[in-house]
Amino acid sequence: MPVSLNMLANCLILASISRRRANLHRTTYWAQWIRQFHRHGHLFISPTLTIACILPQLVLTVLLSCVDVN
């Protein structure tokens, strides 16, 4: 849950910055979003690595909970 909130907050921050810069520099919103993502991409590294580290544990937990131990 905290990881998804962090990713959502990062996207909202980039959207806000991109909207303001697109209006200021007379460029498209999407071009500014991509530019800001390249500039602030480090904000997405930590949540992505956290998900990558938690995913195998989650898969193993689900697989082992479904195994019948007789």
pLDDT digits (tens, 9 = 90+) for 31-68: 999 999 999 999 899 999 999 999 999 999 988 887 66
Cβ-based neighbours of 60, under 8 Å, separated by 6 or more: none
pLDDT of residue 70: 64
Q: How many whole angstroms separate alpha carbon 20 and alpha carbon 23?
A: 5
State the residue range of the domain holding 27: 2-65
The domain tally of the chain equals 1
Using CA atoms, how far residue 56 sits from 12, 41, 61, 69, in Å, is 28, 24, 8, 21
Does some domain include residue 70?
Answer: no
Residue 46 lies in a domain: yes
How high is the pLDDT of residue 53?
93
